[in-house]
Structure formats: structure tokens, C-alpha cells
Amino acid sequence: MSPKVDFSYRLSWNLFLIVSGSLLQALGYKGIAALHGFVPSGLFGLAALIEYNGGLLDAGVWYLLLNIPMFVLGYLYIGRRFLGYSFIAMLVVALAYSLLPLELPISDQLYAAVSFGVLSGSGAGIVLRSLGSNGGLDVVAVILNQRFNIGVGKTYFLFNLLLFSCSFASLDTDLVIASLIAAFVASVCIEYSLSLFSQRKLCLIISPRSDAIAAQIMDKLRIGATFLEGTGAYKKEPRRVLMVVTNNIQLKRLEEITFTTDPHSLFIVENTFTVIGSTFSRRKIY
């Protein structure tokens, strides 16, 4: 009997994320950016800039050509599965841009910039939740994220800042500013899409009755807990700090258990987005 495949590693799920996210991006590129003359995020922005400045081919074809060195990097540093998924995503974006009659009738430039940022950023984030990417700058962004923990949105924004600085020489100033607004919105949407459904709460509970609190947490909430050894700074007495990772739904129940057991407990909550291992998410292997 073959081992059960984790849902996030299934071919059907990854293809769904890649195709739907890539189509969202293509809608933003062709339906909004091309109509207003915006420079899109990442490598597609360079492809669009070439098209705007009299390139013989459209941005979709230029995007395919510019992706060749990016795919070489992906093959060297990430893996063949990543390369295959990324190729599909790149192909969907390029073909949808070149072949589909996409158009969103938004006349106001600011509204168009924000809408374009939401569509392109959300689409890029959805694709990056898969085991692939959109190709282009996504390859570099994933490598930097894996090796140096640099946010994908930050990589995009810095690249676009450089790209749009060069764009002042050939584009209207208002268009460049609107494109920068769209790039900022896109970077926020990428980060939000990547953290969606992954947010957790890290709770630290300091109480002389931490053993009783831990027992109730494991019995009523069916989640694990960890004791951290600490020392009170004032009286120098040893204290056991209870660490619990939970979600928004169980947070109030955890709070109720804590203060019902010990009304004088210290209850500290921090937001966290990356919890890997144990009963939580598996590490994504590209």
C-alpha cells in the first residue's frame, strides 16, 4: 500500500493554485496594467517596459524569453519539481496575456493602480503557496526567502523600485507613481496571501499553577504544551513558563482555562505565521 501523500504535495492541488493564481495575474496585467500603461511587478514589468518602448513582441513573449536565465537558477538552487510547476505558471501567464481578450473598464488611475496591485499580488501569493512560482523574479525571491528569510514582498518591492526609477526616463511621472502604488499594494497582498490560514498564536503563561493549567489544556483543548524553565528577576525564585501554540478559535478557551485555574496568571500572546513540525504544518520541500 502506497504511503498517504500530504494534501499540499498533491499534483491536483498545486495545479489549481498555479493556474488560478496565474490567471489572476494575467487579468491584472492585460485587463488593467496594459490599458493604463502601468509597469507590472517583477520581471513582467521589464517585459512590459520593453513593449511600451517599441518592442517588436508583446510583453507575454518577452516574459518567456526573459525567464530563460531565471529557470537556470531555479534548476541549480531549488529543484526540478519547482522548475516544472514554475514553467506551467509562467506559460499560463504569458499565453493568457497574449491570447485572451481581458479588459477591466476602470477609468480612474488611482483605482486602477490599487485594483491592479490587488489582482497581481494576490495571484502571485496564491501561486507561491504551491510548490512552484510564477518564474521570473519569483525564483530569486524564493531562493532569498529560503536561504536568508527575506520576505517575498520585500524582494519584489525593492526590484520594482529600481525598475521604476529607470522608468522615469521613458514614462510619464504620474504613470510611474501609480505603478509604484500598485507595486506596494501587490507586495502587501503577496505577504497576506502567503500567511492566510497560517496565522497562529504563541502564548506564554506564567503561573505557580502551570502544571494544573497544562493538564487542562491537554485534556480540554487536545493540544500540546511545553514548559520553559525561568527565574523571577525580583525574588530569584525558579518559575515554569508554559508555552502553547494555538489558533484564533481556541485562544479564548485557552484564556478561560488559564484564569479560571489561576486568576493571577500572566498571559502573554504573540502573533506568529510560521509554525512547522510536530502536529503543525510540514516543511515545504521544493
pLDDT > 90? residue 21: yes
Task: Return the SS3 of 54.
Answer: coil
Question: Across all residues in the chain, what is the average pLDDT?
Answer: 83
Kindly report the backbone phi and psi dihedral angles of residue 242, in degrees, each rounded to the nearest multiple of 5, phi listed first. -95, 125
- HSE, CB side, 13 Å, CA atoms: give it for residue 143: 17
Q: What is the pTM of this model?
A: 0.73
Instruction: Determine the average pLDDT of the residues in 29-34.
Output: 92
Q: Within 10 A of 208 (CB to CB), how many other CB atoms are there? A: 12
Residue matched to cell numbers 510540514: 282
CB 140 within 8 A of CB 150: no
* Share above pLDDT 70 across residues of the chain, in percent, rounded to a whole number: 90
Q: How high is the pLDDT of residue 26?
A: 93
Instruction: Determine the average pLDDT of the residues in 196-221.
Output: 86
The CA-atom distances, in angstroms, between 34 and each of 48, 85, 109, 139, 192 are 8, 26, 12, 24, 25
| Burial 53-81, CB ≥16 within 10 A → b, else e | eeeeebbbbbbbebbeebbeebeeebeee
Could you tell me which of 131, 180, 126 has the C-alpha nearest to residue 156? 180
pLDDT > 50? residue 3: no
Q: How high is the pLDDT of residue 286?
A: 52
Q: How high is the pLDDT of residue 144?
A: 79
The CA-atom distances, in angstroms, between 240 and each of 163, 207, 253 are 52, 8, 21
Say which range, 4-8, 11-15, 215-219, 244-248, has the weakest mean pLDDT: 4-8
Q: How high is the pLDDT of residue 2?
A: 43
